[in-house]
Amino acid sequence: MAEQERNSLMINALSKSLALLRAFGDGHAVLGITELVRLTGIEKSSVQRILATLHSEGMLIRDNKTRRYRLSNKWLHMAYAHYIADPLSSQVMPRLFDLQQQLGQALNLAEICDTSIMYTLRLPVKRTSFEGTLTGRTHPALNTSGGRAILSTWGPTRWQHAAQTWPLGQYTPRTTQDRGRIAELIAKAHEDGYAISEQEVLLNEIGIGIPIKSPGGEARAAIHCSVSLSSWTIDQARAELVPVLLDTARTFFVPEYEDIDESAVE
């Protein structure tokens, strides 16, 4: 929010277009003009022009019956290009694959993305829900073991602040809503070197988050392991899975973030 206007070389039309595109991500995947006006607050005429442009460029599919739009598969190209250029994914992928063979559990790479956790690599084990296999899914960082694991490396000041201000979701009856409790859990994760959560996002699911630290000790990503409460207890998971996961996470080399970092505060 803060530093939008300082650079006078910002293209307004492009900013708006991105805002509009993001609207498709936030739960509403199929949208018409008026809905977009409501969601984004952009003028109808502008929405009209942006949609026309994106559509004519093949980036949007239009349902001629309902006159509503959805994102085309051309966007997968951007995702692909991201992965190719991303030093972390290419490094983590093969190790994650081996780990999955060894442990037989669902594994993800989770990255911090503003105040959310995004699953960027996914290796499911059995037939899960379709959504469960897709990369790009996000959850509020505070709700997830991965998010707490990452925050636990940022130092008490920053994680306290995050625990108090970052958004929270409500997924199951057992999703922790108590921000003080969350701060405690992060502190615990700081001591342990990893975070465990129980049924906070999905019922019957234990989440294990292991931070992937840069040389400076801060993490922007985590290995996330998801196991079922019907086959595992928390203690079993701690004893059998955590050590292996910690071993793996330690071996990654993550360069320091010289870039914006933008700290996602306020």
10 binds DNA (CB under 7 A): yes
- β-pairing, 195-198 with 60-63? unpaired
Q: Which of residues 15-34 bind a copy of itself (CB under 8 A)?
A: 15, 17-18, 21-22, 24-25, 29-30
66 binds, among a copy of itself, DNA, none (CB under 5 to 8 A by kind): DNA
Based on the shown chain and the rule CB under 8 A, indicate whether residue 265 belongs to the binding site for a copy of itself: no
Report whether 245 contacts 224 (CB < 8 A): no
219-228 and 205-213 as β-strands: parallel, antiparallel, unpaired? Answer: antiparallel
Residue from 19, 21, 39, 49 touching DNA (CB under 7 A): that is 49
| Cα–Cα dist 231/119, whole Å | 24
Q: Does 235 bind a copy of itself (CB under 8 A)?
A: no
Q: CB of 266: closest distance to a copy of itself in angstroms?
A: 14
Restricting to residues 52-71, which ones interact with a copy of itself according to CB under 8 A? 52-59, 61-65, 70-71
- CA dist 165 and 96 (Å) reads 32
Would you count residue 67 as binding DNA (CB under 7 A)?
Answer: yes
**Can you read off the two tokens belonging to residue 237?**
């998971």
Stretch 88-127: interaction string toward a copy of itself, x if CB under 8 A: -xx--xx--xx------------x-xx---x-x------x
Q: H or E segment at 157?
A: helix 156-165
As given in the structure block, the two tokens for residue 252 are 């990654």
